[in-house]
């Protein structure tokens, strides 16, 4: 019998390896007009319309398969995103009744199943979220959609192409909420046995991508919709494959091994190696905010303006940026300085430990006589960036001026539950601040929901129970400013007050990093949580 020696063994191994490399069956790994995206989500966002998995779900399923009446213009990387006509061509408030909105709908739009879109279908879609006795009412979609349009009191079709929406009180911010509400096909729902379980097996919207196939928990495959109503946004790639991949290192391995073309949120410590491997790292400022939200209940040390300003001056944000490998923008307010809503606050949020110590001294505290504060933080979480090292750095910075921080570490979903319940709730454990990253894409989510005195829990999410008559007046001005420019000015005034009064510990804005294979071309990263995949090609 012939003996197998070490040299033969190695040769055999090499041949086996080469065989695998040359195996034509591995060709599936090569894209051909197919964009393969690895999401951070652990499962496919449910393609029912009002999908789940947060902004990532809307980005990859909500706004690919479906459209809303009002869309975001995602075509620019250099300008803040603004609202643009979607399934509605225009919207106006009734001059005689500022609580009554009229949406003129787009003619000739058809769902992927061929059925027409009109005001009746729009009403049917609002019913699926708001009318509990409607046959199409869906608890899951209601849970996702209701909080986006709390002001809506009634709605009706005036004619096939005109929709009326009436709000409980004048609300100039309604279009931002309506932009979340996407339209599912009524005809497909009927055809699928009048069930949403049947609908998600073959979902139908009006979006730029059409459903092809889905393997639950593994992949969703969409194909381009050549008949999309907006010819400028007909996708250039033939196919879009969405794969859930919650583990960051797995996403990196998938990109580097060529089994995916695009990964969301690569970990900061992998960026250099990805660049060296020829990958594109794409970032941009976007409406994300990573603050400490102060409690303003009685006895909170953050009730003192000097303490709040001192803390804001004590944070070395450039040092933190360096800690994160450059993957953050130092915050100077609730929105980035490039936002149309930043305004011109007089208080400059900067790193000035001497001025911080002086202010804290005036409030009666110093390193010798420190102030102790309790802060809720999470070890991880959606949009939370790198919360542990970032918070530890804040703890060190604040200790330098005489603020001793005790952490109350909570798992992300537990933190969210306590955030909803408010600072007075036992679940917040008497903490003086909470650290939840915020979506700040519109004036309501960026500012009003945190500080309006009518939005204390459980009604709203003013976690800290902040109440200020002047702030309420400024918010009222935003809600009644129907002219876009007047509204922008009103938002700026409110934001200036937030910064001047140092109502939060302003720390960082994320830069939304994603890594793309060299063959991915044409992507423009908008200053937005949502992105347009239509111009992307895969060479």
Partner 1 sequence: MLAYAIKRTLFTLPIMLGVSLVCFALVHLAPGDPLVSVLPPDASQAIKEQMMALYGFDRPYHEQFARWLARVAQGDLGTSIRTGRPVSLEVGKAVGNTLMIATLATLIGFVLGTLFGFVAGYFRDSWLDKAASAAAVFGVSVPHYWLGMILVIIFAVQLGWLPPTGAGPGGSEAWVWDWVHVQHLILPAVTMSVIPMGIIARTVRALVAEILSQEFVAGLRAKGLSEFGVFRHVVKNAAPTALAVMGIQLGYLLGGSILIETVFSWPGSGLLLNDAIFQRDLPLLQGTILVLALFFVVLNLAVDVMQTTLDPRIQRA
Q: Which residues bind partner 1 (CB under 8 A)?
A: 17, 20-21, 23, 25-26, 28-29, 42-43, 46, 52, 54, 132, 139-140, 142-144, 146-148, 196-197, 200, 215-219, 243-247, 249-250, 253-254, 256-259, 382, 410-411, 413-414, 416-417, 420-422, 427, 436, 438-439, 445, 449, 455, 457-461
CB 161 → partner 1: shortest distance, Å? 30
Nearer to partner 1, 208 or 460 (CB): 460
The secondary structure of the chain in percent helix, strand, coil, rounded to multiples of 5, reads 35, 20, 45
Nearer to partner 1, 32 or 249 (CB): 249
d(CA 531, CA 533): 6
**Contacts of residue 238, Cβ cutoff 8 Å, sequence gap at least 6:** 32, 33, 34, 223, 224
- Most distant CA pair in the chain, distance: 99
Nearer to partner 1, 11 or 158 (CB): 11
Nearer to partner 1, 48 or 204 (CB): 48
What is the chain's alpha carbon radius of gyration, rounded to the nearest angstrom?
Answer: 25
Residue 270 backbone dihedrals phi, psi, to 5 degrees: -100, -5
d(CA 360, CA 358): 5
CB 494 → partner 1: shortest distance, Å? 18
Q: Which of 248, 412, 243, 404 is nearest to 314 (CA)?
A: 404
260-264-268-273 Cα dihedral, nearest 10 degrees:
20
Task: Supply the DSSP string of 334-374, one letter for each residue.
Answer: SS-TTSTT----SS-----HHHHHHHHHHTT--SSS-EEEE
Tokens of 40: 């951070």
Nearer to partner 1, 206 or 260 (CB): 260
CB 413 → partner 1: shortest distance, Å? 4
Q: Which of 148, 188, 192 is nearest to 171 (CA)?
A: 148
CB 398 → partner 1: shortest distance, Å? 26
CB 458 → partner 1: shortest distance, Å? 3
CB 473 → partner 1: shortest distance, Å? 23
DSSP 233: G
d(CA 43, CA 50): 16
CB 26 → partner 1: shortest distance, Å? 7
CB–CB of 277/256 below 8 Å?
A: yes
Nearer to partner 1, 158 or 414 (CB): 414
In terms of phi and psi (left: phi > 0; alpha: psi -120 to 50; beta: otherwise), the region of 299 is: left
Nearer to partner 1, 304 or 425 (CB): 425
CB 457 → partner 1: shortest distance, Å? 5
CB 140 → partner 1: shortest distance, Å? 5
Nearer to partner 1, 228 or 463 (CB): 463
Nearer to partner 1, 33 or 364 (CB): 33
d(CA 112, CA 228): 9
Nearer to partner 1, 121 or 200 (CB): 200
CB 209 → partner 1: shortest distance, Å? 19
CB 381 → partner 1: shortest distance, Å? 9
d(CA 188, CA 480): 39
Burial class (CB in 10 A: 0-12, 13-18, 19+), 304: middle
Q: Which of 220, 73, 51 is nearest to 128 (CA)?
A: 51
Nearer to partner 1, 335 or 360 (CB): 335
């Amino acid at each position: 019998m012939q003996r197998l020696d070490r040299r033969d063994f190695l040769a055999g191994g090499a041949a086996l390896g080469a065989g695998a490399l040359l195996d034509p069956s591995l060709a599936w790994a090569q894209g051909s007009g197919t964009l393969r995206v690895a999401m951070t989500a652990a499962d496919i966002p449910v393609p029912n319309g009002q999908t789940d998995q947060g902004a990532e779900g809307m980005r990859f399923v909500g706004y690919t398969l479906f459209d809303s009446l009002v869309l975001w213009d995602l075509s620019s990387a250099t300008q803040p995103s603004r609202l643009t006509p979607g399934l509605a061509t225009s919207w106006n408030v009734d001059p005689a009744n500022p609580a009554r909105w009229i949406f003129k709908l787009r003619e000739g739009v058809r769902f992927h199943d061929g059925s027409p879109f009109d005001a009746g279908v729009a009403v049917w879609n609002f019913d699926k979220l708001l009318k509990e006795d409607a046959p199409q009412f869906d608890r899951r979609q209601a849970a996702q959609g209701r909080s986006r349009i709390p002001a809506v009191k009634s709605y009706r079709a005036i004619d096939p192409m005109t929709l009326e929406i009436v709000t409980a009180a004048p609300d100039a911010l309604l279009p931002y909420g309506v932009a979340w509400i996407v339209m599912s096909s009524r005809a497909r729902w009927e055809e699928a046995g009048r069930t949403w379980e049947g609908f998600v097996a073959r979902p139908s919207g009006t979006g730029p991508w059409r459903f092809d196939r889905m393997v639950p928990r593994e992949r969703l495959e969409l194909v381009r919709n050549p008949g999309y109503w907006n010819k400028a946004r007909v996708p250039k790639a033939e196919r879009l494959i969405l794969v859930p991949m919650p583990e960051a290192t797995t996403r990196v391995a998938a990109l580097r091994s060529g089994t995916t073309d695009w990964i969301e949120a690569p970990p900061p410590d992998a960026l250099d190696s990805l660049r060296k491997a020829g990958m594109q790292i794409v970032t941009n400022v976007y409406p994300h905010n990573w603050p400490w939200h102060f409690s303003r209940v009685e006895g909170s040390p953050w009730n003192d303006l000097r303490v709040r300003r001192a803390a804001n001056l004590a944070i070395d944000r450039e040092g933190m940026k360096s800690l994160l490998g450059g993957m953050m923008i130092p915050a100077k307010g609730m929105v980035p300085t490039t936002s149309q809503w930043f305004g011109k606050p007089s208080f400059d949020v900067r790193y000035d430990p001497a001025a911080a110590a002086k202010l804290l001294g005036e409030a009666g505290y110093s390193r010798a006589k420190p102030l102790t504060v309790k802060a809720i933080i999470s070890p991880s979480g959606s949009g939370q960036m790198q919360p542990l090292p970032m918070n530890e750095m804040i703890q060190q910075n604040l200790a330098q001026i005489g603020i001793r921080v005790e952490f109350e570490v909570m798992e992300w979903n537990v933190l969210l539950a306590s955030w909803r319940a408010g600072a007075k709730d036992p679940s917040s454990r008497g903490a003086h601040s909470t650290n939840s990253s915020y979506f700040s894409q519109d004036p309501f989510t960026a500012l009003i929901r945190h500080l309006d005195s009518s939005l204390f829990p459980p009604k709203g999410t003013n976690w800290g129970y902040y109440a200020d008559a002047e702030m309420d007046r400024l918010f009222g001005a935003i809600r009644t400013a129907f002219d876009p420019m007047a509204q922008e000015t009103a938002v700026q005034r409110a934001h200036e007050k937030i910064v001047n009064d140092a109502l939060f510990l302003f720390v960082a804005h994320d830069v939304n990093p994603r890594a793309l294979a060299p063959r991915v071309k044409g992507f423009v990263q908008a200053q937005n949580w949502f992105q347009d995949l239509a111009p992307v090609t895969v060479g």
